[in-house]
């Protein structure tokens, strides 16, 4: 796989987001199936695996740790702190003492003595970002983590954090239908030498054709509460997808591959981490890093789906209030 850079490490142009193997999209797959997918990802060249303390309230880290412990020296392992499950409830807590406790739990869950990249999953707005970053800096000094990352932050917060401890990567939602990073964050990452790790690069399945509306979703699927998957937005977006599907067919690739290739073309520091439970989709996603789609097709894709054509906000109001990203 083509390589890109996070800090001083070379990683594949496409990584694997592991969240949906344990969290947020209804019933998770059987453990054996999840382990099999993680092993297959490694076999076909994936080395960058992304998890978090929040996912499955620790169970995703345990899954990844157990599945990949024999391959630990050959992978780039990323996880996150600052948002965890407490008594069954998702809690954002960026206090230094909480972060230090969480990293020790993550190391135990992941069955490793260090984590290559550790993100502050959310900025806790009740705690100065400088205080949280000071704790992250101590983790680096102690050898518990290799690099520090941030998730869902603004360019201003990134710069404040970077002044305390160099930030190697910023992880935020970015895809054809979520273009918020283009306001200021992509430029800030380039200026500071930080990689941009794009989560939900396939728009939570929308850009690969796997979403038809909330009625077909599992009861605990996180997308049920997202405006873009609710009517009347869902029908409007599905019509938009049909035009996108036709454009992908014209290019000779799948819609998901067109979406990922478009994202890779936006900058050499951009690293998508699509998640999947399907071996078929996994292989399709990885191949997107090796194809070359004509620039005119990519430009048409970017004009067809953007912040002006997509119907609905990406998050409900309560969730939006928790994050720090710039918004159109």
Q: What are phi and psi of 24, to 5 degrees?
A: 80, -15
Q: Catalytic residue, from 55, 118, 253, 315: name it.
A: 55
Q: Where are the alpha helices (DSSP H) in 111-232?
A: 129-141, 155-162, 185-192
| Residue 91 contacts residue 99 (beta carbons within 8 Å) | no
Where are the domains positioned within the chain?
3-206+256-291
55 is catalytic: yes
| pLDDT exceeds 90 at position 88 | no
Taking the C-alpha atoms of residue 145 and residue 190, their distance in angstroms, rounded to an integer, is: 23
| Residue 314 contacts residue 228 (beta carbons within 8 Å) | yes
> What does the pLDDT read at residue 258?
98
Using CA atoms, how far residue 233 sits from 25, 223, 238, in Å, is: 20, 13, 9
Confidence label for 261 from pLDDT (cuts 50, 70 and 90): very high
Confidence label for 27 from pLDDT (cuts 50, 70 and 90): confident
The CATH code that applies to domain 3-206+256-291 is 3.20.20.100
- pTM for the whole thing? 0.96
Confidence label for 24 from pLDDT (cuts 50, 70 and 90): confident
pLDDT 10s digits, 158-188: 999 999 999 999 999 999 999 999 999 999 9
């Amino acid at each position: 796989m083509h390589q890109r850079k996070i800090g001083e490490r070379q990683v594949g142009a496409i990584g694997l987001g592991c969240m949906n193997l344990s969290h947020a999209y209804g019933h998770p797959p059987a453990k054996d199936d999840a382990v099999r997918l993680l092993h297959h990802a490694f076999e076909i060249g994936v080395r960058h695996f992304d998890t978090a303390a929040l996912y499955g309230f620790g169970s995703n880290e345990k899954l990844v740790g157990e599945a990949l412990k024999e391959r630990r020296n050959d992978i780039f392992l990323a996880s996150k702190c600052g948002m965890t499950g407490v008594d069954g409830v998702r809690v954002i807590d960026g206090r230094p003492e909480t972060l230090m406790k969480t990293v020790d739990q993550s190391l135990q869950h992941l069955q490793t003595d260090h984590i290559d990249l550790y993100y502050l999953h959310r900025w806790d707005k009740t705690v100065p970002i400088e205080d949280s970053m000071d704790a992250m800096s101590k983790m680096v000094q102690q050898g518990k983590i290799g690099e520090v990352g941030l998730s869902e932050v603004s360019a201003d917060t990134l710069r404040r954090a970077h002044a305390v401890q160099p930030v190697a990567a910023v992880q935020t939602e970015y895809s054809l239908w979520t273009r918020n990073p283009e306001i200021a964050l992509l430029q800030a990452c380039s200026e500071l030498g930080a990689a941009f790790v794009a989560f939900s690069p396939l728009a939570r399945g929308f850009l690969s054709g796997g979403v038809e509306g909330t009625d077909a979703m599992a009861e605990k699927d996180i997308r049920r509460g997202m405006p873009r998957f609710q009517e009347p937005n869902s029908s409007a977006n599905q019509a938009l997808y049909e035009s996108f599907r036709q454009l992908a067919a014209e290019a000779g690739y799948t819609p998901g591959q067109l979406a990922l290739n478009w994202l890779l073309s936006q900058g050499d520091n951009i690293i998508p981490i699509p998640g999947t439970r399907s071996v078929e989709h996994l292989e399709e996603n990885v191949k997107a890093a090796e194809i070359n789609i004509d620039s005119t097709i990519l430009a048409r894709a970017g004009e067809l789906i953007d912040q002006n054509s997509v119907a609905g906000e990406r998050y409900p109001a309560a969730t939006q209030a928790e994050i720090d990203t710039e918004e159109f």
